[in-house]
Structure 1
Amino acid sequence: MDSRTPGRSQQKIPFFSRLQVKYAMSYLAILAVVLVLLNTYPLIASQNLLFSSKRDSLKSQAAVMASALMELESLNADQVARVMNMLDSTGLSRVLVTDPSGLILYDSQAQSDPEEDSEENPPDTQPEQEYRYALFQEVVLALEGNDVVYSQYEDGCFLSTAATPIVYRGMTIGAIYLTEEDTTQGALLMNLQQNLRSISLVLVAIALTISFLFSKVLTSRIGALLGAIRIVGEGEYGHRLQPSGKDELAHLAEEFNQLTDRLQTTEEIRRRFVSDASHELKTPLASIRLLADSILQNQEMDQETVRDFVGDIGDEAERLTRITEHLLALTRLDSLPVGETQIVDMAQVTQRAINMLTPVAEAADVTVEATWKPGCTLRCTEDDLYQICFNLIENAIKYNFPGGRVFVTVRRDGDQVLLEVADTGVGIPEDELPKVFNRFYRVDKARSRAAGGTGLGLSIVRDTVRRHGGWVTAQRRQSEGSVFTVGFPCETPEVGGDLS
């Protein structure tokens, strides 16, 4: 969407209140959650898998060693050493074997090569046995008859410990304690962690770039719409947006353009209405002033002439009153809601309007003929329906010829109630028919003013009809004159209900 910079200064928006920042922060918040999961779940799952593997391995090795040692009726250092030397303890950092009291009988870290011992210490000079106890919690639990396995990961190293009792004929004769330090698996886990961090940094950079660009594009379109609103708010109703894309913002731009079209049309109608109203009010006011000045400036004017001038002033004042009343009626139709409606018989209201206009028709030597069918009821306010009927029939009489006729028909057509008012009068040119309901529009301005018309009667009819869900049309009569047709949805009164 394209927009021009608005003329007035824009209100500065705080940084963290900008939509672009909010969108970017929302994307980053989602990314942060994803990265936390990416950097924690695989590591935790890998650690748990390795922990489980190492526990099972240590438990299996401890069980094998315990099975080998439980064949001995009693444990002593020499027998334990011979058995342990035959067993494979590859990968273990330390192996301890204790008696029931926790005395260490075998320690893989303290064991050395027998040939080195014999060279350094001849048999007759062997040191005395050093008594040491394994004061480990695992050993204590194992001597109580429990199998114990622990694993932990720290500083890139997996440290695992296991202890199991040595049982002979239901009695615990000792315990085995194993430890394993695995830096290889720890290094692999650290590499995985480092790779995940590198991937996270790349994702952060990509996400920052994409979120910035996406939020900028999105907010720029919103900013264009905001700028267009400001321009239209300043009165430039011809401004339009150029929608791009098929998303909601594009539809919003199209709705904005349609709204400005309606605003522009309404503004043009308003200006034309004000101009026409000013012109219509100016004419009788100018006539009144001219006549009044003539009376005041001509002191020798006879009474008969003064009486004629005063009569003309009264006629212009009456015309001014009619224009004002019609303007007030149109204002009321534009601003006030519809009053309380009821079921009304159009034939009865039409007959009342004809009765009121009979003296006018007789004075103009015009005959009014009316026909109607029963059951022509609709929902409306009686005053509004009377105003519609009165205005149409009055126009048919005023714009007729001496000896002319007016035909008023009320009938049903399906689910519609129709009022037709035809006349044998001056008629309306074909190209003028679409304009007859415009405010202050007259086909023959001279004849209209002579007949006392304001150019607002048909506008009042159209607006009143539309307020009650109806429609109105104007057509040329085949032979002469014109035909006005008004249609309303038919509504039948409820049984036992009142009919006005």
Structure 2
Amino acid sequence: MRRKKGPPIDSEKKKKNREGVPFFASLQVKYALSYLVVITLVLALLNTYPVLASQDLLFTSKRDSLKSQSAVIASALMELETLTSDQVVRVMNLLDDMGLSRILVTDPAGLVLYDSATDKWNSSGKEEPEEPQYRYALYQEVAAALEGKDVFYSHYADGVFTSTAAVPIVSRGMTTGAVYVLETDREQGNLLQSLQQNLANISAVIVASALVVSLFFSKMLTARIAALLHAFRVVGEGEYGHRLQPAGRDEMAQLAQEFNRLTDRLQTTEEVRRRFVSDASHELKTPLASIRLLTDSILQNQQMDQETLRDFVKDIGDEAERLTRITEHLLALTRLDSLPAGKTDRVDTGAVLERAVNMLLPVADAAGVTIRTSVKPECNIRCTQDDLYQICYNLVENAVKYNYPQGSVSASVTRDGEQVLIEVSDTGIGIPEEDLPKVFNRFYRVDKARSRAAGGTGLGLSIVRDTVRRHGGWVTARARPGGGSLFTVGFPLDRGELEAPEGEAEKGVQP
């Protein structure tokens, strides 16, 4: 993945970005080592299994060969009535040595009657070698053969196969002697050594190639991870405009796409936060400036009469109340943003709306506004009493505040299929079409001068929207035909154990 160039970061950020991980803790080294471990295990198997299989094959071949050769010799000797040294030598001189290194023939007591290492000299007429000191074949193979067993032993060491075999000589059902043969095979040993050497050379080439390939692929993978890590560090320093350009269609590319989506949301959130802080600072600054101006006027005017002083103090109190409302609304929004929804109950929407209207009747009477309500029964939702009361109170209060004298407000609760609808309409100043999508934004006011005069903070509708969403509902605003505004809130109907009253059942109204 390629990185888009973002804003320059300072030297301290660069220093943090250059901080690396320990060599053996890096993913690149771990990936390379994991590849090498796998290759090493495969090569270890490659260097052992073929050699061991070849050894077993050669051992089997030599066992069959030596047993066959020793059986041929034993068959030739079993025709002799008695085994004597001269007779055995004559028979053995007629036989081929078959490429064996040594052949021994013994009598039943293990006395050597023929030894190819010495008796060949006698038959050729050459000078006889010195008589051996021991003439008994003290070999376990010979002892086992004299007991009537066929014996074979073979081992490989120093590039030489050494194999021995012994068979009994049986005549008329009796063991009359034993044949012992010995073979040393350097040629097969050299072939096996050559195989081992070739496998070692191939393994060395494979290891070198695997090292290069593993470093290459691990570098490719860790380079993309390093780019992602660098991007996280940059964004962590506040550069929310930093983006990655995903390359390919694998999991790393998907991770880069998710990173870009995350930074988009972070950037949007940061912009909203900054705008919110800016708006909040501006809203708080206005009443504070008014309080400061009024207090300075009081302090600088030593001859101020009591009535004027009372008016100034009243204005200071009004601005303080406005500050209190703003801070309370800000705290309410903060709680909505940070805290999960509390435990909900089954709430009668109509009853809560009527309670909110009753609380606002004195305000409406003072403004010359009439409030009419229309509540349908069995309009229950899952919510909290306080949250639903705040929603109804804010909507009705806004309808009263931004209305004309002798105007009216209509508040109703109805059911529409599986939804409960709360509708609050007024005959007031209305909302321009272009401002409708913005009325739920924090600190947004259509008529700022009228809002301040009415004591508005620009946060009431934001609180309504966030509270409604916390309980799975929705809220809309639109212009009312004939002037004014119409706000609609929808919640999922909580049926519970609903039972329609008898009067409604007779009219055909279904719960």
In which range does the TM-score fall when normalised by the shorter chain?
A: over 0.9
Aligned to 1:104: 112
SS of corresponding position for 1:324? helix
Deviation for aligned residue 1:312: 1.5
Amino acid at match of 1:469: G
1:17 pairs, out of 6, 25, 42, with: 25
Please tell me whether the aligned partners of residues 66 and 165 of structure 1 are also in contact (alpha carbons under 8 angstroms).
yes
Aligned partners of 1:468, 1:390: CA distance in 2, in Å?
17
Aligned partners of 2:15, 2:439: CA distance in 1, in Å?
42
Deviation for aligned residue 1:130: 8.8
Deviation for aligned residue 1:418: 1.5
2:65 pairs, out of 52, 57, 63, with: 57
SS of corresponding position for 2:264? helix
Amino acid at match of 2:48: T
Please tell me whether the aligned partners of residues 371 and 410 of structure 1 are also in contact (alpha carbons under 8 angstroms).
yes
Q: Do the aligned partners of residues 85 and 373 (structure 1) sit closer, same or farther apart at CA in structure 2, a change above 3 Å counting? A: farther
Q: Do the aligned partners of residues 212 and 128 (structure 1) sit closer, same or farther apart at CA in structure 2, a change above 3 Å counting? A: closer
Deviation for aligned residue 1:339: 2.1
Aligned to 2:503: none
SS of corresponding position for 2:336? helix
Please tell me whether the aligned partners of residues 103 and 131 of structure 1 are also in contact (alpha carbons under 8 angstroms).
no
Aligned counterparts, 1:154-193, within 5 A: 154-193=157-196
Is structure 2 residue 111 aligned with structure 1 residue 134?
Answer: no
Aligned partners of 1:374, 1:351: CA distance in 2, in Å?
12
Out of 351-360 and 364-373, give the one that drifted further: 364-373
1:345 pairs, out of 330, 348, 361, with: 348
Please tell me whether the aligned partners of residues 288 and 319 of structure 2 are also in contact (alpha carbons under 8 angstroms).
yes
Deviation for aligned residue 1:233: 1.2
Please tell me whether the aligned partners of residues 240 and 263 of structure 2 are also in contact (alpha carbons under 8 angstroms).
yes
Please list the CA deviations of residues 256-294 of structure 1 after superposition, one character each: whole Å capped at 9, or x if unmatched. Answer: 111111111111111111111111111111111111211
Length, aligned pairs only:
491
Structure 1 outlier segments of 4+, above 6 Å? 126-131
Aligned partners of 2:140, 2:350: CA distance in 1, in Å?
109
Deviation for aligned residue 1:239: 1.0
1:444 pairs, out of 444, 447, 450, with: 447
Aligned partners of 2:97, 2:431: CA distance in 1, in Å?
117
SS of corresponding position for 2:98? coil
Q: Do the aligned partners of residues 60 and 43 (structure 1) sit closer, same or farther apart at CA in structure 2, a change above 3 Å counting? A: same
1:81 pairs, out of 77, 80, 89, with: 89
Deviation for aligned residue 1:333: 1.3
Aligned to 2:292: 289
Deviation for aligned residue 1:208: 0.2
Is structure 2 residue 248 aligned with structure 1 residue 245?
Answer: yes
Is structure 2 residue 209 aligned with structure 1 residue 206?
Answer: yes
Amino acid at match of 1:248: E
What TM-score do you get using the length of structure 2 for normalisation? Answer: 0.91
Please tell me whether the aligned partners of residues 121 and 127 of structure 2 are also in contact (alpha carbons under 8 angstroms).
no
Q: Do the aligned partners of residues 129 and 399 (structure 1) sit closer, same or farther apart at CA in structure 2, a change above 3 Å counting? A: closer
Amino acid at match of 2:143: V
What TM-score do you get using the length of structure 1 for normalisation? Answer: 0.93
Aligned to 1:69: 77
Aligned to 2:506: none
Aligned to 2:419: 416
Out of 87-96 and 417-426, give the one that drifted further: 87-96
Aligned partners of 1:129, 1:254: CA distance in 2, in Å?
90
Aligned partners of 1:128, 1:424: CA distance in 2, in Å?
140
Out of 315-324 and 88-97, give the one that drifted further: 88-97
Out of 461-470 and 475-484, give the one that drifted further: 475-484
Aligned counterparts, 1:275-286, within 5 A: 275-286=278-289
Please list the CA deviations of residues 73-110 of structure 1 after superposition, one character each: whole Å capped at 9, or x if unmatched. Answer: 21112222232233343221111111112222122222
Please tell me whether the aligned partners of residues 2 and 247 of structure 2 are also in contact (alpha carbons under 8 angstroms).
no
Aligned partners of 1:316, 1:130: CA distance in 2, in Å?
130
Is structure 2 residue 258 aligned with structure 1 residue 255?
Answer: yes
Aligned to 1:219: 222
1:387 pairs, out of 383, 386, 390, with: 390
Aligned to 1:196: 199
Please tell me whether the aligned partners of residues 7 and 231 of structure 1 are also in contact (alpha carbons under 8 angstroms).
no
Amino acid at match of 2:65: S
Please tell me whether the aligned partners of residues 93 and 123 of structure 2 are also in contact (alpha carbons under 8 angstroms).
no
Out of 162-171 and 108-117, give the one that drifted further: 108-117
Q: Do the aligned partners of residues 345 and 115 (structure 1) sit closer, same or farther apart at CA in structure 2, a change above 3 Å counting? A: closer
Aligned to 1:34: 42
When the two chains are superposed, the root-mean-square deviation of aligned CA atoms in Å is: 2.2
SS of corresponding position for 2:472? coil
Deviation for aligned residue 1:324: 1.3
Aligned partners of 1:67, 1:241: CA distance in 2, in Å?
87
Q: Percent identity?
A: 70
Please list the CA deviations of residues 185-225 of structure 1 after superposition, one character each: whole Å capped at 9, or x if unmatched. Answer: 21221111111111101110111001111111111111111
Please list the CA deviations of residues 369-401 of structure 1 after superposition, one character each: whole Å capped at 9, or x if unmatched. Answer: 222222211111100000001001111111112
Aligned partners of 1:408, 1:424: CA distance in 2, in Å?
12
